Amino acid sequence: MSLPRELLRRPRMEMRLTARGVAGVLLGRYNHTSARPGLDEHAHTGTLEICFLVKGCQTYELGGRSYRLTGGDVFLAFPGEKHSTGGLPQEKGVLYWMALRPPLLHLPPRQSRTLWRTLLGLPSRHFRGSWKMQDNLDAITRRFHQAPTGLDAFALASHVGAFLLEVVSCAGAVPGRRGTVSLQPVLDGIARHLDEPFSVPALAAQAGLSEARFKVRFKEEVGIPPGEYVLRARVDEARRRLRQSRATITDIAHGLGFSSSQYFATVFQRFTGQTPGDFRKNAVPAAESKR
């Protein structure tokens, strides 16, 4: 069951589950309809943060590495680790984050320590999640915003526990290869022909799939719908051209298949939080950044 419309539309919410009798858990959710300012480098003392990206894309930087998330991905920041969005914006999309501190879920001390050590010992910081995670996070959000009952602590702790077990399971799974034989030629073709119009039926035909199956397969493997993927690919290339070339904004827009510079500016700002002109003024040319 998805969230009620009034919760789905909220741009940001934080849920302190201690208020409903569940120790050590803070759950947050944002719904960004356009890019927002990025996160400065920060750390959470004694707290494990688990991010689950429901849809969209987001980049995090931790320990000198950059992690690019798409819909359905999980990212972990362990206690005391400095992390940020690496100078990039918080992108358009929907994301849950859960902050955990022991003791967890009112478990007996030994079980709480075992769960905490298991979470801190997970082998990967970035991995593919499952939609069972979203089901449990949505259930927590619905329950938290309903009228209190005597069963809240039990119900919320059950959903948190199910979510954490799914995190442990997915973190240890053998990673599947994104961009399989059927979809990689499609992705390569998009990258080579960003100036050309794309239609979902044509892309599906190239992959040898029905349109309905192609949409499902694309979202499963790439993390975002094909139309959004094309727009993001064009915006990424526009960033490169704005930094490295002297072409006008109008020429860049038309060279990437946008019908007008106005539409290009609207899309660019939605995904980057800046107009193309502001981005170009603030960007450091690649040649200069290496001096």
What's residue 282's pLDDT? 85
pLDDT at 248 over 70: yes
Burial grade of 22 (CB within 10 A; 0-12, 13-18, 19 or more):
buried
Class of domain 184-286: mainly alpha
Note the pLDDT tens digit of each residue in 252-277: 999 999 989 999 999 999 999 899 99
Q: What are phi and psi of 28, to 5 degrees?
A: -125, 160
What's residue 209's pLDDT? 87
Q: Topology of 5-171 in CATH? A: Jelly Rolls (2.60.120)
How much of the chain, in percent, has pLDDT values that exceed 90?
64
pTM listed for this prediction: 0.82
Which has the minimum average pLDDT: 190-194, 214-218, 285-289?
Answer: 285-289
What's residue 290's pLDDT? 38
Residue 102 C-alpha from the chain's centroid: 26
Nearest to 256 by CA among 202, 196, 200: 196
Q: Cα(271)–Cα(268) distance, rounded to whole angstroms?
A: 5
Burial grade of 257 (CB within 10 A; 0-12, 13-18, 19 or more):
middle
Residues of the chain with CATH 1.10.10.60: 184-286
What's residue 286's pLDDT? 42
Mean pLDDT for the chain? 89
Residues of the chain with CATH 2.60.120.10: 5-171
How much of the chain, in percent, has pLDDT values that exceed 70?
94
